[in-house]
Amino acid sequence: MGRVFLAGDSAGGNFSHNMLAQASRAGLLSPTTKIEGVVLVHPFFSLGELEDVVEFLSEGKMGVTHPIFHPMGDPVRMRREVECERMLVCVEKDDVLREKGTAYYEALKGSGWEGKVELLETNGGGHVFHLWDAKLEKSHEFLQVIASFINQPT
């Protein structure tokens, strides 16, 4: 298999983490079938004020501290489920999700995970700014950093 990366913006960042975690738990990854890296862009991990929504959507089976919504709550599990070589976590200074994205980065970095994790913090663009106006120089520069991360030799 060639080089495989998972990437997602906002809730897609959460999906990317959980796809990797599920593949790891299910034993789908091996030296010949692996996910090389993950890019989480302004990832949406649980916010306490959304607890009612989370409980409604999960029919009361999960709360905002469930690993699907809050993987950084259990660093040992997180380390075990992140079977990739490297990860880029992107946060935006003016984004309400910044704190959760940074907490994810810190939890993974402090978990003893053997891969390489990087934090990219942008300033002044807002949540998923690169999607709202892809013509901005700032958007282009941001996407270039992501492309560079993906294209790094292994």
| Active-site annotation, residues | 10, 95, 127
Virtual torsion, Cα 102, 18, 58, 41, nearest 10 deg: 40
- CA distances in angstroms from 117 to 17, 18, 36, 78, listed in the order given: 13, 17, 12, 13
Helix (H, G, I), strand (E, B) or coil at 40: strand
